[in-house]
Structures are given as C-alpha cells and as structure tokens.
Chains A and B, each alone.
Chain A
Amino acid sequence: MYNLVLNENMKIYRRVRTWILIGLMAGFVILGNFVMWHEAKDASADDWQTQVTQEKENWNKQLQKTNLDEGLEKFYKERIAVIDYQLEHDIHPTQGTMWNGILESASLAMLITLLTIIIAGDIIASEFATGTIKLLLIRPASRLKILLSKYIAMLMFSFVLLLTLFIISFLLNGILFGFNHMGLPLIRLIDGQVVEQNMFLYLWKTYLLNGISTVMYITIAFMISSAFRSSAMAIAFSIGTLFAGNILLEVLRGYNWSKYLLFANTDLTQYLDNRPFQDGMTLSFSIGVLVVYFVVLNLISWLMFTRRDVAA
C-alpha cells in the first residue's frame, strides 16, 4: 500500500502540469495579499486605539437609527463588545497585523478544492484514456487498493496545497506587516460572552473544515471518473457542482428539503461563524448528511472501478 501511494505521488509530482497549478495558486495568494497590504498601508495613519474608537462611534451612531434591521443591530452590538474588550485589555485588533491577511487568505482554500478536483478528475480517468490502466491492474494489487492509493494521494495533494497556502500567506504577511503580533489572540463574541481564542487554532479549524468540502469533491470526481472514465467529464462535472451548486442553493433556499442537498452541507465554516444555511441546521446534522453522501458516492466508485471490464 505504501508503495502504491509512492507510485501515485510520483505520477502527480513528476508532471509539469502539477507544478504549474501549484505555481498558479501561489501566484494568486501572493497577489491577493499584496493588494490587501497596499490598501491597509494607505488606511492606517493613526494608531489602532484611535481607529477602533472611531469605528465604535460609527457603530453607535448607526444604533441610534430607528427601524434598524435586526441582523445588523446584532452585528453592530457584537463589534462594539469586541472593541470594548480590545481597548480594555490592550489587545491589538487583527487589522494592521499579519493576521488580517492570513485570515483573509484562508478563504482562498476554495482554490485548493478547485485544483484538487482538476488532478482528482484526471488521476483515474487518464489511466483509462491512455491505456496505462491495463499494465497497472495486472499486478498483485487488488483494484480496491489501487483506488485507495489514488484517494490517499489526492488527500495528500490537497494537504500539500493547504501547507503551501499557509506558509506563503504566513511568511508574506509576516514580512509585510512584521511578525510582532504572532501571539495575538482572536477576540470573538460567542453566546453573548467575549472570549479570546488562539489564532493558529482558529485558522487551522477553518482550513480543516474547508478540507472536508475538498474531500467531498474528490469523492465526486472519483465517482465520475470511475463511471465515465473520462477526465474532461470528471473535471467539468465536479467544478460545475462546485459553482452551480452554490447558485442552485440560493434558488432553493426557501424549500425545507434543500438542507439535504450535498452543497448545503459541504461548507462547514458556516457553523464556525454561526450562520447556517437554514435555521435549525447543526454541525452534527451536516456531518451526518456528509457521511451518507460520502459512503454512497464511494460505494458507487468502488463498484464501478472494481467490477467493470477494462476495455481500454
């Protein structure tokens, strides 16, 4: 099994294409962070106390207004509570520190999903398309093991991308903003209580929750690959689901059953930030739905990959 994964990795990383994709992602992250740094540099002339005090006054003014939206009112009050806490305990806000860029970059994890889909759609289907599947399957390794080794290689690939994202955004923002706020805690309001959270922990929680959606998309790509044995189909279909899925969700949000759709549950960061797709959805509900999809999709891949004739 170890050797099989080694083989799959060799086939991924000894291709120029893979490095172009990784380079592309790195380029995106670097560009995005530079733009954010540039904007932040222009904005911050005063020290942070003055800035947050100004912000607080602004929110207070907004709160004076009548017919205020309930959601907005909640948001303003949360911000004010956080600012008060920061001023009181002399804790620098993330704005103007390396952490702002790093946290923003975490939203680029979507790119990781995208790139992983491209490789995952290809890793099975291309073996069929080029005929190499024949020489791969006539070895003393069951088809299940071959499939599994490809799966593991994809998980590793998405992890490599994640590390790339983390390292680049960490170093770049550190260099641009300075590393002096590395130990800064994250101040958040949870259930009406202001709490301090470890920034690294929060960041990696976001990453890993995003990783779960990546895993789901790898699974979809594998299923399409095994069923149709066509890279183009697998890549197009999975990326299509990634984008069309979110659009479709907006349309279907009104229907209660839409919470059982796969895409309504793939983004688990909705619970981290306390804004679920539909009221009443919980983290365990989403995990349950994901597990069911995961098992069914993998079962289909497995049946398609191990049972069918290889006529390539």
Chain B
Amino acid sequence: MSNEPIISLRNVTKRIGRKTVIDNLTFDVPQGEIFGFLGPNGAGKTTTIRMIVGLISITDGQILIKGNNIKTDFEEAIRHVGAIVENPEMYKYLSGYRNLVHYARMVPGVTKARIDEVVALVKLEDRIHDKVRKYSLGMRQRLGVAQALLHRPSLLILDEPTNGLDPEGIRELRDYLRYLTRVEGITVIVSSHLLSEMELMCDRVAILQRGKLVDVQPIDYFTHGSDTSQTYQIEVQMPEQAMAVIGQMKGIEELKRSEDGFIEVTAERELVPDILEELIKNHIRVYGVQRVRTSLEDKFLEITGGGQVV
C-alpha cells in the first residue's frame, strides 16, 4: 500500500449562479479508508460527489483521483471510480442483468464471470433476470452497488447507499464495504443521513455544513470524546445526598441530575473509583455506573449547531 492519497480535493469551490454551493473544500482520502460525508439536507454532499465524478464542472480548485485530474484527464481518472449518485437509476425496461451488461461494455476487461461475481456479492441472483421495473427500492440499491463494483474500482463512492435497504441489507452492505477495504484495498466514500450508521461504517468522517467543511475527524473522536475527561452516569439510592457528597470532591468538572433521575458527572477516568468510594463511605447505595457515550449524532448536532436544514 502506498501513502499516496487515492483522492484529493484542493480548494474545491462550486458556484451555481450567485450562490456558492461548495466553498473551498480541501481533504485527502488514503487507500483502504471508509470516509464518511456527513451533513444536513442541502449541505452539499451530493454536489461534491457530482464534482468528483465529473458530472458538473468545478468552479475553482481541483480534484485528483490517483493523481489524474478529473477535469483534464477525465477518462483516466474516472476509470478508477465506481459510484452511485443520489438514486441508482437504471433502465427500467431492461433486466437487472442487461443493465450490468450495459455498464460492463463501457469499461474494457469486465468479463461475464465478473458480472456473475458482483451479482452474487449483492445477493441478487434470484431476481437478476427480472426487469428493473419490478424491483423494490432495496433491490435497485443493490443493483446500484453492483454496477459500481463491476470494473473493480479503486474508489467507490456511494451517495446514501443505505437508503431503502432493510436492516439485514444495511448489515450486509457494511460487511462487504469492510471486506472491500480490508481485503481488496478499495477506498470508499459514503454519504448518509443515518448518522448512527456512519459510526458503524466509517473510519473517518467529514462534516459538511452550508457547503463548508466544518471538521474532519477519525470516528473515535466522535464516539469517545476528545480528551481524557468523560461523562459518567451514576444510579444511586439517594441522589440529593449523593450530589452533595460528589460536589465537595476535587477534580469534578461538571455535575448535574439527568432528566431520568441519574447523576451525571464529568471527570477524569481516574476519579471514578474515588467517587464510588466516597459514596459508599457516606452510606449511599450505588446501583450502577455507566460511561455516557457521546454519540456521533450528539456531536454532529453539537458541531453543526442543531442541524437545521439550510
């Protein structure tokens, strides 16, 4: 594996009319990573993906895929990309299989065996010879993934791939994205509204808001918090007294009662045994302690300030 990024965006800007839809986006995605694109409706996720695959022009800046400029070396750059942009629209009057044949013909070297392989991967064997008209949304999504994988791309871009998939389908998608990145070394960019999905799927997440990149962080940052101090939830018999006891201790950063009656303490990890010891010394019965996970969703709302649609 080389350290060269598979895709790199440099100061990418898109203006439509007078509106700046994408504002100065810069980031790299290295090989084998699953990179998440997160943002409220209208943040510019789809617009960015459209620029990456060359469907719309780039007003300013440049996009390199494996070192090829999408604008000037379109054919060489796009060769390495498989994508779904918004909904995977296929030819409804053709069978799923014929649709795949159609896309297979457009790239040299895609064999019949390869078509069968991707059909098996997305588990569409039983219905592949039906007309796409008769497919359910989830089946179309699976076919969409299949067409994106046909030519063994180095970069797979999926715009809201979980849209329409059942829980089993989502789990399978997650599994084969893992497989593709870990075993075949493919790089994946996904955008999604299902934030909890991103937590389970992505290595790194970029948060986009009103066309601007707010933050790019490894997924751990969102799931475990940024520093050593964390919030713990404690269930006790006498919350009032317990609050008083803990409140007198040193090193407590925050202390409050949660809505459901638990005590929430923010402190360094090393302080947790001390807190428990103090409570027990004061004859307060403790039923449980739990680390409060700052989920991506909370963090996301926190960062984007409420997640209103722009």
B85 at the interface (CB under 8 A from A): yes
Contact A137–B54 (Cβ < 8 Å)? yes
Q: Which of B73-81, B172-180, B234-242, B289-297 contacts A (4 or more CB under 8 A)?
A: B73-81
Partner of A309, one of B55, B76, B78, B90: B55
Q: In the bound complex, what is the Cα–Cα distance between A142 and B106 (angstroms)?
A: 11
B50 located at the interface, meaning its Cβ lies under 8 Å from any Cβ of chain A in the complex: yes
Contact A15-B93, Cβ < 8 Å, known A135-B88, A137-B55, A140-B75: yes
Number of A residues with CB within 8 Å of any CB on chain B: 23
Across-interface contacts of A134 in B (CB, < 8 A):
55, 85-86, 89
User: A residues within 8 A CB of B75?
Assistant: 140-142
List the B side residues contacting A11 at CB < 8 Å: 91, 94, 102
The answer to whether A132 touches B55 (Cβ under 8 A) is no
Whether the pair B79, A14 counts as a contact (CB closer than 8 A) is no
* Interface pair A139/B89, CB less than 8 Å apart: no
Q: Chain B interface secondary structure, helix, strand, loop or mixed? A: loop
Given contacts A131-B87, A134-B85, contact A14 B93 (CB under 8 A): yes
- Complex contacts, A3 vs chain B, CB 8 Å: 105-106
Min CB–CB distance B270 → chain A (angstroms):
53
Chain A residues whose C-beta falls within 8 Å of the C-beta of B94 in the assembled complex = 10-11, 14
Cβ of B10 within 8 Å of any chain A Cβ, yes or no, is no
User: A138 at interface (Cβ–Cβ under 8 A)?
Assistant: yes
Q: Is A7 an interface residue (CB 8 A)?
A: yes
CB distance from A293 to the nearest CB of B (A): 29
Given the interface contacts A134-B55, A135-B90, A138-B78, does A7 sit within 8 Å of B105 by beta carbon? Answer: yes
Query: Does B107 contact A139, Cβ atoms closer than 8 Å?
Result: yes
| Interface residues on chain B, size class | 20 to 34
Give the Cβ gap from A58 to chain B, nearest Cβ, in Å.
57
Are A132 and B106 in contact, with the CB atoms below 8 A? Answer: no
User: Does B196 sit at the interface, judged by CB under 8 A?
Assistant: no
Q: Is B56 positioned at the interface, with any CB of A under 8 Å from its CB?
A: yes
CA distance A149 to B287 in the complex (A): 72
Are A130 and B92 in touch, CB under 8 angstroms? yes
Chain A residues in 8 Å Cβ range of B89: 130-132, 134-135
Let me know if B83 is at the binding interface, CB within 8 A.
yes
Could you tell me if A14 and B103 are in contact, using CB atoms closer than 8 angstroms?
no
Whether the pair A310, B78 counts as a contact (CB closer than 8 A) is no
Nearest chain A CB to B310 CB, angstrom units: 18
Residues of A within 8 A of B107 (CB): 139-140
A10–B78 CB distance below 8 A: no
Q: How far is the CB of A144 from chain B (nearest CB, A)?
A: 11
Tell me if B87 and A139 are in contact (CB < 8 A).
Answer: no
Q: Which residues of A lie under 8 Å from residue B105 when comparing CB positions?
A: 3-4, 6-7
> Which residues of B (77-120) have their CB < 8 Å from a CB of A?
78-79, 81, 83-94, 98, 101-103, 105-107
How near does chain B come to A272, taking the closest CB pair, in angstroms? 40
User: Is the pair B57, A139 in contact by a Cβ cutoff of 8 Å?
Assistant: no
Q: Mark B219-250, 1 if CB is under 8 A from A, else 0.
A: 00000000000000000000000000000000
Is B202 in contact with chain A by the CB < 8 A criterion?
no
Q: Are B50 and A310 in contact (CB under 8 A)?
A: yes
Interface: B186 (CB within 8 A): no
B56 and A311 form a contact (CB under 8 A): yes
Please state if B86 and A131 are interface contacts (CB–CB under 8 Å). Answer: yes
**Inter-chain contact B98/A14, CB cutoff 8 Å:** yes
Name the residue in A4, A14, A16 with the highest tally of chain B Cβ atoms < 10 Å from its Cβ: A14
Give the top 9 A-B pairs by smallest Cβ distance, nearest first.
Answer: A131-B89, A309-B56, A3-B105, A139-B106, A310-B55, A140-B75, A138-B53, A140-B79, A134-B85
Residues of chain A touching chain B, judged by Cβ–Cβ distance below 8 Å, are 3-4, 6-7, 10-11, 14-16, 130-132, 134-135, 137-142, 309-311
